Chain A
């Protein structure tokens, strides 16, 4: 059993590395493909191991295309992810190392928090559930008021509203199967739009520095990890409030506005949320991520031993994946520096568009066209891209306030 498990973990890591390096391939796209291989595996446990190892590996590797393939010029760098900023300073490998530190550190810190609070989760879950709509509304207000001036606040309301309408339409229609609809939607809002901005800006990847030491104090690291672990667990309680909203709140509330702290925090929230999602299957029987939905489907009700076993798989995978991510994060920019960035970006855009058409059909193409336009609009208005999360925030707000039926009736969908 141990040998087979370790072998499957390494197979999962290989698949995760491959899928993670392809821009636009979200773990929720990979998992259904993995699930279709179930007939090859003798027991459900093996399939669960494969799913977890792929999901965890992608969580680490995903930062490579995100940081290295979305680089704009310095004057627009404030509107893109902080990893790009470090890349433009020639410190792309440091950015990757910070995300690894955030992931591994938060894995350990969040496990401690989860162990300490395990008996309270069911209570917290039941207590917070009736108030979810207020929390979602609070997050939205928070996102508006933290924009720099009135013009940007109004722009953020426009983007949140438009992406909200977009979310209501695509999430509640028969255009694309529900399990695949987020792929063209989020790819356009956050992926293709960033790549197109890069072409506009005629970016190139600057020569990367050999020195990749993490220029951040230990105090900042500890603060970022604790905040990330708490935020990652809290995200598990709040439907639709995603990693980027939590990251935005932590960035302002916790003072981690600097790129390096922010990278640790974002990566940490991601991992903590995934660990909590897995544990919440056992504690409250409610899956909170694509991977945990798959695990529930494979194993049904989880026992304590199952959770311990799966956390072991998470830790083994995270350890190996972090080494691989660091290695790839060091060698990939050396190749990218030599390539024509514009040609590379256009090739990636064409590849993703073909993938959307293949996986989600012509309606997926219409969705990605619209989501890319919305993402570009957000970028040109120079407001935070996290406002595009209106795609999930508004539909969730309607659901929890009970207004969704009224809206569906008015729209006739």
Chain B
């Protein structure tokens, strides 16, 4: 009886914890920073930033690789095939990401072959700011 009670308590606290984490997860946004402030010290952290598209390359597998820049800093934005499919559902295709457009992007900062990247995950993580 005592063990069953402990199991019930642990189950309920686990469920409550999961619900609270879920509520926090869907409401929390990453920290907004300038593109020049995205450094390797932020690898593994989530940020929100913006910049102009200065380079664009499509991959045969359906990936789209963008590079955004302010005056000095360049950051890669890899949009993988699965994410591109998600964007298509909200009406964005690779043609919408033209060179010169300013976009905002939020996601995880990563480093690939010495180059800093921001990897968006949700459709709302990447927005075109001007036409």
Contacts from A to B (Cβ < 8 Å): 162, 165-166, 169-170, 172-175, 177-180, 297, 300, 363, 366-367, 369-371, 373-374, 376-377, 380-381, 402, 404-405, 408-409, 411-413
Contacts and interface: CB of A to CB of B under 8 A. Distances in A.
A162 B30 CA distance: 26
Interface stretch (B19-27, B67-75, B96-104): B19-27
A175 B24 contact: yes
B18 A165 contact: yes
B56 interface: no
Find the residue from B3, B82, B111 having the highest chain A CB count within 10 A. Answer: B82
A373 B17 contact: yes
Given A369-B17, A370-B21, A380-B3, A413 B26 contact: yes
B91 interface: no
Contacts of B40: 297
Contact of A366 (B10, B20, B122): B20
16 contacts: A162-B18, A169-B21, A169-B22, A173-B25, A174-B28, A174-B30, A175-B24, A175-B25, A363-B28, A373-B13, A373-B17, A376-B6, A380-B3, A380-B6, A381-B7, A413-B26
A163 to B, nearest CB: 9
Interface in B84-129: 85-86, 108, 111, 114, 121-123
A48 to B, nearest CB: 16
Contact of A173 (B14, B18, B24): B24
Contacts, number: 92
A413 B13 contact: no
Given A177-B46, A300-B114, A169 B6 contact: no
A409 B123 CA distance: 9
A179 B6 contact: no
Given A177-B45, A178-B108, A413-B25, A380 B10 contact: yes
B11 A377 contact: yes
B7 A178 contact: no
Given A367-B21, A370-B18, A405 B85 contact: yes
Find the residue from B14, B44, B122 having the highest chain A CB count within 10 A. Answer: B14
Contacts of A408: 121-122
Contacts of B29: 174
Nearest to B43: A179
B65 interface: no
Given A370-B14, A373-B10, A405-B86, A175 B26 contact: no
Contact of A166 (B13, B18, B122, B123): B18
Contact of B46 (A174, A363, A373): A174
A297 B30 contact: no
Contacts of A380: 3, 6-7, 10
Contacts of A409: 86, 123
Contact of B25 (A169, A371, A374, A402): A169
Given A377-B11, A402-B82, A405-B83, A411 B20 contact: no
Given A178-B108, A405-B85, A408-B122, A374 B21 contact: no
Can you list the 6 inter-chain pairs with the closest CB atoms, starting with the nearest? Answer: A370-B17, A179-B44, A173-B25, A377-B10, A373-B13, A373-B14
